[in-house]
Structure 1
Amino acid sequence: MSRATAVVLVFSVAPVVALGLLALTGGLRPEEVEGFSTAGPVTRLGLPITQAIRDIAALVTVGALVVAATCVPPSEPSKAQVVEGARRKLLDVVAMAASAWLWSGVALLGFTYSEVAGLPLTAPGFAPQVVDFATQVEFGRYLAISSALASIVAVGALRARQTGAVGVYTVTALMALWPIALAGHAAGSLNHNDAVNLQAMHVLGISVWVGGLVAVVLVRSALCGPALVDTVERYSTLAGWCLLLVAISGVLGAGLRLYGPQALSSPYGLVLGAKTAALFVVAAFGWWHRRVGIRHLRKGQSRAFHRIVVVELVVLVAAAGAGVALSRTPPPAPSGAAERLTVAQALLGTDMPEALRAAEWFTAWKPDSFWLPVALLAAGWYVGAVLRLRDRGDRWPLGRTVAWVGGWALFVWATSGAPGVYGRVLFSMHMVQHMTIATAVPTFLVLGAPVTLALRALTRRTDGSRGPREWLLGFVHSWPARILSSAPVAAALFVISLAAFYYSSLFELALRSHTAHLLMTFHFVLTGYLLANSVVGIDPGPRRLAHPFRVLVILVTFGFHALFSVSLMATQQVLAPTWFGVLDRSWGRTLLDDQYLGASLGWALGDYPLAILGVALIVSWVKADRRERRRLDRKADRDRDLDLVRYNEYFARLNARPPDVSGRSSPPTP
């Protein structure tokens, strides 16, 4: 199959499947509401077609970048840092796909506004209204941001010359998937955050899976024997994990939208069934690849393998088209559903929690569908890596394992336990959550030395391609990591971001916006990790300050933190009043009293991370002195204490010098 044929196939199947399923379920029929106009047939047909093209372009962009960054080797190991050969071909594909993503996203913005406003595309003043929609309305901003990030990837793919740039644009493309999840069919009122998180995981998995397969098909002619086999094996491993991610997120997401078995017979359930059947078929193809196909490819029997890959690709793209139809099909409403949401339900996405009592500190629980999987994966990977070291006869300190697992357990409590449940309702619980994720959790994670463990446990590649170990090592020694890991910069980020966040509109934005709340959590974990790593870190990285200066960094940083808490205790102005006041909480303290309690807890909860850092620093200091003493002893053994001999000889010559006219001995030249 030629590259042009493959491109036409990929971009034509999804729109056809989307239109066909919508026609079967009645999704193409106009919804006529008395008193409201409709956008017309052009928008009704153009919107799903454009969305399918946008989605396929996004899948190809992300998948091709991931394959280029992690699977494809260079033509020679000496060219590992240069974008050439198969990688260059993939980046050319990325540039075209990202351009299609950009322009189809712009067109989708216009079609979406046409449908929402009930205006045809030729209506007077339509273009300025679309601009307002893209800048003033949240849904429009999602579409615009995704297209803007796609434009960065398109330009960057053409200009990329170094392998490190491929990693940067891969991360940018993955970030551009988040607005797609926000604007997808997962968005709703109740359980909105969970639906968006699951949708993002689903989109991520299907993007790497489908786009990666497209990349393998398009780049196979540029790879010879062993390089092609290695690329297919690495992609196959990625596809297996993506299948698991798509299956889990799909099942959980369907559980949020389908209420009872009877919902399966609805149009939404029928489209979901078609998409699920397609994914089962592709899973069977994946099993064939792992068991039979790669073995035939290794023997040079590639024709049958390529035929199966093309069939798999068609089914996967058809599943993506079914996803477009699914996003255009409203899920069935539960029987007896309330017509109007309460204020708390509209703002929080869930019911107002019960009054906070002592028992709720231990029993309140709402799994965070974003951070809980992250924590479980991080802890599971760490334990698996330790077991791998032990299987090959290496030892790993138990204390580091306990610190790492304990840190993530504390993080899970902060995000899914009582602080997570009450953090958006009570300022005091928000401060408990903040202090836990910004000071306590990072300290434990740093003491786990995850980078050291990864460098010892991950497999080293020798063909010039970059796996997890190579990307990690490159990031640790990159200039951004060196700057951010220095103690003065880390301390400044920790202190400045604290004041900037709470004394600006960012705090209320993090309460209102799911995306901003996730970024807040990530930011405070990251700044806390950088600070702890610069003080008591074990992992390789930039040269750390001498221990007395590290003590000074800790004292200054936590001194500013205490000053912030005291200033917050003294204020009479409620932070985020239009959020906490509108919630109309009927239990607990007043807003100002709760804020005073939160500031007090913020001050008090800074003590035990400070104590942990202090103890770890003292232990590190003592160990460093012992290492230095052992180094000097070994040096003395090697040169027979030459430094001491020279020192004594110097004093001997000093005593042997005759006195000058003043009666004093002139010191000899050492």
Structure 2
Amino acid sequence: MKRSTARAAAAAAVVVGCGLVALVIAYYAQAGSEAGLLTRTGPAVVWGLPIAKLVFNVAAACTIGSLMLTLFALPPKGKAFSQALTFAGISAGLWTGASAAMSFLTFHSLANLALFSEGSGTAFISFLVDVDAGRRGALSLLLAATVTLLCFAARGYREASLAALLSFAGLVPLALNSHATGSGSHPDSAVSVVMHMASAAVWLGGLLALVVLRRTLDSAMFTTVVRRYSTLALVSFVALAVSGLLAGWAGVGTLAALATPYGGILAAKSAAFIVLGVFGLLHRRWVIAKLEHEPRKGVRAFTVLAVTELAVMGAASGLAAALARTPPPTIAVAGPAEQTPQIPSMIEAFSTWRPDPLWSLVCGLAVFLYLAGLRRLRLRGGSWPAYRTALWLFGIAVLFVVTNGGLHAAQENLISAHVLTQMTIAAVVPLLLVPAAPLSLAEQTITRRNDGSRGAAEAMDAVVRPILKATGDPLVPALGLAATLTLLYYTPLLEYSSSTQFGYAAMTILALLAGCLFTASVTRAFSRPASPTVAARLLALGGAAVLYSFHGWALAQQPDQLPDARRQPWQISVDPAFGIPSVGDAEPAGVAMWLIAAGSLLVAAAVVLFSARHKAGPLREARGSNAAARELVTASGPAAVTNPAFQARPEGSPNAGRAPNSVPLDP
């Protein structure tokens, strides 16, 4: 345990030391200008805040990275599992202290008060209670402290999973307090900051945890854990690239702005990111192969490369801390840009571009994972229908256009655009994604683990199968769809999802999940005795039609503008929204819901009737063969009952070749 503590301290010292050097070099010029502004606090706050943020970032990364490594790479029964949780707990304790320091220094920076001056204590308490920045800092402190307790008390996956969830949530308050969340006119930057911080934390913290645990694991298990961490690091690298590119461009705005201090720090941080990408490639192509064939030399190569990578990561963390205290050109020069609500035409709604960092990443990963699974299946000699691949690619393309195109921007102002977005995601996209059978493809290609740890296959068993079993009856997902529509249109989520990126992400996830579960329940029959009948599925479709009709009528009574106290009311006086002619004061959102609902429900009904007719032929043949078998049994005597030849199962039956109690994940 002492050796593990020494290794952890040495690795953390490398990261923090390199981070401090990079912070001083990058922040020196900006610190001089801020010291002149903060006349009462002086250098103590000017330098204390970025240093506290650096410690905050490293401690949070160690906590999150070690927890993710614990959940997805380590077997639950073993010394490494408990040591990883201990390392996460110590890191969370440092995170708590750094969060407290950041709240304290942020208060003095905003109030421009001397440290520990008379009356500052009362003002600080008021700051934590009454000011948004203070409340967010207090929430971050509370979450970090809770994670600390959970990590030391954790004994299994359940507590570790809760700690990991709360640790990711602990990054949100800092992102909301960051200047990047209000940079320019880019409302998506809050999500970019959270994605950036979370992916960097998994990458940096996971590598630190590996360095600490390398002597705790035997050579074979260490190789396995490194390979699993490499997968997490690859996903983190992609997420960092997407979120960093969008957030960085939102900060600089133009290529000329790269010559500013903000642009220079951003360029240096990008160079460090490229170097880290090269290190990651070396890990995947060279270190893992060496660990498999020459374990002793492989461990030495991993240690040297990991320590070098940690030094670069520390420098990148220092640059990030300096960047957070440097105003971007879009704020310092032009100020926040005012946006005038525009009424787009139908072509503009789908041709303009509004990148969303979260859904760009989700769509890209969905395509990559599906094609990777297809490649693995074919390498194993399996086959996969081409139409399923085409449906998946087309469905993801539609999802990408809706979440990153003109509708993404227009839905902030027009409820008709909001309805088009929600209905396309809930009704159209599931009709493309569900028949593509991604879960069946995953079930056939993902390798199961035998060491007690949990990977994708085990997660599917623990989460996906129970959900599919609970929603097999169409009545359950139909009720879920009704509840989702009520939540989306008759609660504050309507305005929250149109004005904030976190709300938009919540709306999209709810609509997509409700739509996929409903579509799956009415367009396929599970191979089990309780399989829903054709009548039950058609009845569920009829109920959905009534539901959409009611909601469409209610929307037709509302004005087109979404309520927003931050904007002045404006009138539609130029062209009808989306080129749809209005009748009197009727609002096009209701018409949009009716049209999309009618089309999607008709397609779903056609699929149900076609599948029922397609199965009717084999069932009739089965009845005939069973009748012939009974006649032959009668003629041959009782001995024929035990003959397997008379216990025939109709060819093409959905249960053929499957265990009696198994439930397929897809049609």
Name the stretch that deviates more: 366-375 or 246-255: 246-255
Aligned match for 1:306, one of 303, 306, 310: 303
Name the structure 2 match of 1:661: none
Residue of structure 1 equivalent to 2:200:
206
Q: 2:587 aligns with which of 562, 585, 596?
A: 596
Contact 1:431–1:601 (8 Å) recurs in 2: yes
1:378 corresponds in structure 2 to 366
Identity %: 29
2:598 pairs, out of 585, 604, 607, with 607
Q: Aligned match of 1:324 in 321, 324, 331?
A: 321
State whether structure 2 residue 54 is matched by structure 1 residue 89. no
Matched, 1:117 2:114: no
User: Alignment RMSD, CA only?
Assistant: 3.7
1:526 to 500, 508, 513: 513
**1:51 and 2:53 matched:** yes
Does the aligned pair in 1 maintain the 2:65–2:205 contact within 8 Å?
Answer: yes
Structure 1 position 450, deviation (Å): 1.3
**C-alpha distance in 1 between matches for 2:62 and 2:468:** 30
**1:258-657 correspondence runs (5 A):** 258=252, 262-298=256-292, 299=294, 300-301=296-297, 302-333=299-330, 338=334, 341-342=337-338, 345=339, 352-353=341-342, 355-478=343-466, 482-483=469-470, 487-537=474-524, 544-570=531-557, 576=563, 578=565, 581-582=568-569, 587-588=574-575, 596-622=587-613
The answer to whether the 8 Å contact 2:18/2:312 transfers is no
Greater shift, 453-462 or 326-335, is seen at: 326-335
Counterpart AA for 2:541: I
Conserved 8 A contact 1:14-1:56? no
Closer/same/farther in 2, CA of residues 27 and 488 from structure 1, 3 Å limit? farther
Change (3 A) 1:549 1:99: farther
- What stretches of structure 1 of length at least 5 have no aligned partner? 75-81, 346-350, 647-670
> Could you tell me the TM-score, scaled by structure 1's length?
0.82
Check the 8 A contact 2:93/2:144 in 1, yes or no.
yes
After TM superposition, give the deviation of residue 644 of structure 1 in Å.
12
Contact 1:425/1:580 (8 A) holds in 2: no
Partner residue of 1:649?
none
What is the CA–CA distance in structure 2 between the aligned matches of 1:223 and 1:325, rounded to whole Å? 37
| TM-score, normalised by the number of residues in structure 2 | 0.82
Alignment-mate amino acid for residue 507 of structure 1: L
24-33 or 490-499, larger mean C-alpha shift: 24-33
Q: C-alpha distance in 2, partners of 1:637/1:130? A: 88
Question: Residues 545 and 150 from structure 1, CA distance in 2 versus in 1: closer, same or farther, beyond 3 angstroms?
Answer: farther
Between 293-302 and 122-131, the greater mean CA deviation after superposition:
122-131
CA contact (8 A) 1:110 1:121 kept: no
Task: Give the length in aligned residue pairs.
Answer: 627
Q: Take 2:477 and 2:187, find their aligned partners in 1: how far apart are those partners?
A: 31
Worse-superposed segment, 186-195 or 538-547: 538-547
Residues 601-643 of structure 1: CA distance to partner in whole angstroms, max 9, x if unpaired? 2223211111122122223434555666677677778887769
> 8 Å contact 2:71–2:161 — kept in the other structure?
yes
1:419–1:265: structure 2 CA closer, same or farther, 3 Å change rule?
A: closer
Which runs of no fewer than 5 residues in structure 2 stay unpaired?
638-667
Distance 1:179 1:216 in 2: 28
Judging changes above 3 Å, is the alpha-carbon distance between structure 1 residues 95 and 603 closer, same or farther for their aligned structure 2 residues? same
Rounded Cα–Cα distance in structure 1 between residues aligned with 2:635 and 2:161: 53
**Mapped partners of 1:517, 1:258: distance in 2:** 25
8 Å Cα contact 1:30/1:38 also seen in 2:
no
CA pair 222-442 structure 1, distance change in 2 beyond 3 A: same
Task: Provide Cα deviations, 1:296-353, integer angstroms capped at 9, x if missing partner.
Answer: 4342223453233223223212321221111112223599x545743xx2xxxxx644
Aligned to 2:218: 224
Q: 1:313 is matched by which residue type in structure 2?
A: L
Preserved CA contact (<8 Å) 1:102 1:151: yes
Matched, 1:192 2:189: no
